[in-house]
Copies of this chain bind each other. A is one copy, B any other.
Amino acid sequence: MSSRLKDVAARAGVSVRTVSNVVSGSATVAAETRQRVQEVIEELGYRPNLAARSLRAGRTGIIGLAIPELHSPYFSELAGLLVEEAQRRSWTVVIDQTRGDADAERRLLTRGGGRVVDGLIISPWALDPAELTELAATTAPAVPLVLLGERSPRGTLDRVAVDNVAAADDATTHLLRIGRRRIAAIGLQPHLQNGTAQQRAQGYHRALERAGHPRPAEALQRPVAALHRADGARAMTELLDGPERPDAVFAFSDELALGALHMAHQRGLRVPEDIAVVGFDDIEDGRYSHPPLTTIAPDKHQIALRSLQCLADRIYSPDNAVPAQDLTVPHRLVVRGTA
């Protein structure tokens, strides 16, 4: 059987109050008493019951991280950073996978499972930003919330993201600068209410336009079902079999880019000579592909840091005193071998 505060108190011949003080270090305890209590704690193997503490404190010390899928390198790298940084703040992280399922996202926002987490960092995928904001607003009591990537209408919710338009512009501009003319885009997701893909598409068009290019043919803009390597490979096949063979591809994620790269090799094309490729995310795999992937690198560390900071502000502030923030983290173009 596990021991409680009361057991320790009895055995040490003090009150629970004193033991509690020793454990939390909150009040001053006589050195001798503290010593004795410590020994009994060791002896009995006492561990505080966190459920009781949470009930008392009205907080659990647990925050949620909701992402589409953990096996995707971008998200697992980000999750790793978040877990590490959260630990530093004495928070525990529970991870939920939404799998691009709108209902899963809805459930999380409305605390379907009950009041476990003190706050939630969510990377919405399937949910329309408007509905998302609406849900967050009508859920009582409100969950402290930080959005990753998606922007809520009129900035009502905290949000952390890179400037997707500028980043996509940078990628496309780089391809133009190295002399490419028929630049394809892979990664539109017309079936989802996903602002991120739209913003990247916008940056792509903006760069082309500024360079005086005509709007690219529809055939050069490939939609995808998901953002995995397989989707990138499929899109690349369509491009290579299409009416106008591109001399460069801007993929909206590194996974898509790596899939495209794979397909280029399969078809016997040389990269970057025959076709250049730029990705987005700077995942570890891209550094070791053949050739290494040129990509847009969002500052993931900043994303982790600032979203936690944001969440902390909201959790510890007296109800909603803090205005919603829209934080843009830096990104940079990393030129490697594919473009």
A residues lining the B interface (CB < 8 Å) = 1-2, 45, 47-55, 60, 62, 69-71, 73, 76-77, 79-81, 83-84, 87, 92-97, 111, 113-116, 139-141, 228-229, 233, 258-259, 261-262, 265, 284-285, 287-290, 292
Contact = CB atoms under 8 A, between A and B. Distances in A.
A84 to B, nearest CB: 6
Contacts of A45: 139-141
A55 to B, nearest CB: 4
Contacts of A73: 71, 73, 76, 285
B84 A80 contact: no
Contact of A70 (B83, B97, B111): B83
A48 B115 contact: yes
Nearest to A287: B229
A117 B114 CA distance: 17
Contacts of A60: 50-51
Contacts of A287: 229
A50 B114 contact: yes
14 contacts: A48-B114, A49-B55, A50-B114, A51-B54, A53-B114, A70-B70, A71-B73, A80-B97, A92-B113, A92-B116, A229-B285, A229-B288, A265-B290, A289-B290
Given A2-B141, A71-B80, A93-B94, 14 more contacts: A47-B114, A49-B114, A51-B55, A55-B55, A70-B70, A70-B83, A71-B81, A83-B96, A83-B97, A92-B94, A229-B285, A258-B288, A262-B289, A289-B290
A95 B97 contact: no
A66 to B, nearest CB: 11
A44 to B, nearest CB: 8
A319 to B, nearest CB: 9
A288 B289 CA distance: 9
Contacts of A81: 71
Nearest to A61: B116
Nearest to A143: B47
A73 B114 CA distance: 31
Contacts of A1: 141
A115 B80 contact: no
Contacts of A292: 262
Given A49-B115, A52-B55, A141-B1, A76 B84 contact: no
A218 to B, nearest CB: 27
